[in-house]
Structures are given as C-alpha cells and as structure tokens.
Amino acid sequence: MKVITTIILCFLITSGTLAQDKFTVVQDSSTITVFGTSNAHDWETTTSSAEGTAILKFENGGLLSVDSLSITFLASSFKSGKKVMDKKTRGALNDKQHPTLQFELISIKSISEDSIYAAGTFTVAGTSVEREVSVKYSASPSGDIKFEGIAPFKMTDFGIDPPTALLGSLKTGDDVDVQFKVLFNVANNL
C-alpha cells in the first residue's frame, strides 16, 4: 500500500510540472515580411493573414518540446503599398492555383532557453523546400509564445522566376529574406 501511495504522489507532483498544450496563431499579431532587391531599389511586402496550430510542452515554465507546428498564410494577402508590385507578387506566387503559403515543422534539432533550431517544410507556389532555421522564442506569463526569425531563400528554390517590370528594365533579385513573427496563444489544454 505504501508503494502505491508513493507512485500516486509522484504522478501528481510530476503532472503539475509538465504540461502539453495546443496553441493557435493570433492573426493580428503575426506577420511574414519578404525583403528583396531589384536593380532600382530594395522592396518588401507583408502579410498578417496567418492561421495555424502548435502542440507545445512546458516544464516548470520552460519550453521542453514542440511536438507539432504548422502555419498557413494567404498568398493574395501580401501588401507592399504599391498596386503594381502587389499584382506582380500575386502572379509570381501563382495565387490562383496555390492560394496559401505554408510551413510545417519536421523536427526540432535543439531547444535552448530562448531559441530553437528546427527543420521544416516551406511550401510556396506549390513547391515544397525543406530547410533548417534558427528561431528565437519568448513566452509571456499570460501563456502566449512568440516565434521570430529570418530565413533566406532564392525565389527559384520554389520555381518562381524573379518578376520584372517596365518591359524587363526593372528586375528583382533572386535572393529574398523571409522574416516571420508569429504569436501563438493557448487554445485548450490537452
């Protein structure tokens, strides 16, 4: 009887320190910004149309693991403040056939007290590319967790021809930096 009581007590103590929760994206507080160049000037375009979920485990207030994480953005929602550029972006992303851009976590390589090194699949314009990325994170006392980072890509990695304008005299560079700031809050306890 003493052994059973000890096992139950140990279970109750450890179950209070280890929690697994489902989180959802806070849309108005999550953005992806793409930074690029052209032969005329640097450019950027941003969207905040994020949707997604994550299953995270915390122990004693620290992030222990990320069991799953997926994020989706609408390709047609990128805005630069310039109508012609927005139209070129939608065309380059082929938003009619591929309306979303996605990130799906494959695995976590390492977790420290403020960063994660992870492998994931980025899907843009119908083409998926696996990439490892370093991500900073911060958790708030209210239960929110923010992930931030920058991932370099080439447009041609996704089969995208860098857009041109003005009869080809304006050419964008192939290299882009994708900056993400995604806020999740706890949806429900698992």
Provide the pLDDT for residue 59.
80
- The predicted model scores a pTM of 0.81
Provide the pLDDT for residue 102.
94
Share of the chain above pLDDT 90, in %: 54
Provide the pLDDT for residue 171.
85
Residue 90 phi/psi, 5-degree rounding, is -60, -40
Burial of 162 (0-12, 13-18, 19+ CB in 10 A): middle
How many domains are there within the chain? 1
Provide the pLDDT for residue 11.
38
Q: Is the pLDDT of residue 12 over 60?
A: no
In a domain, 5, yes or no: no
Q: Is the pLDDT of residue 46 over 90?
A: yes
Model confidence pLDDT, tens digit, residues 59-71: 877 888 999 999 9
Q: Is the pLDDT of residue 164 over 80?
A: no
In a domain, 13, yes or no: no
In a domain, 1, yes or no: no
The two structure tokens encoding residue 72: 């989706």
Question: Residue 166 belongs to what domain range?
Answer: 19-189
Burial of 118 (0-12, 13-18, 19+ CB in 10 A): buried
In a domain, 4, yes or no: no
In a domain, 145, yes or no: yes
Using pLDDT thresholds of 50, 70 and 90, give the confidence band for residue 107: very high
**Does residue 126 sit in helix, strand or coil?**
coil
Model confidence pLDDT, tens digit, residues 128-143: 999 999 999 998 877 7
Provide the pLDDT for residue 169.
67
Which CATH number goes with the domain that contains 33?
2.40.128.110
In a domain, 10, yes or no: no
In a domain, 173, yes or no: yes
In a domain, 164, yes or no: yes
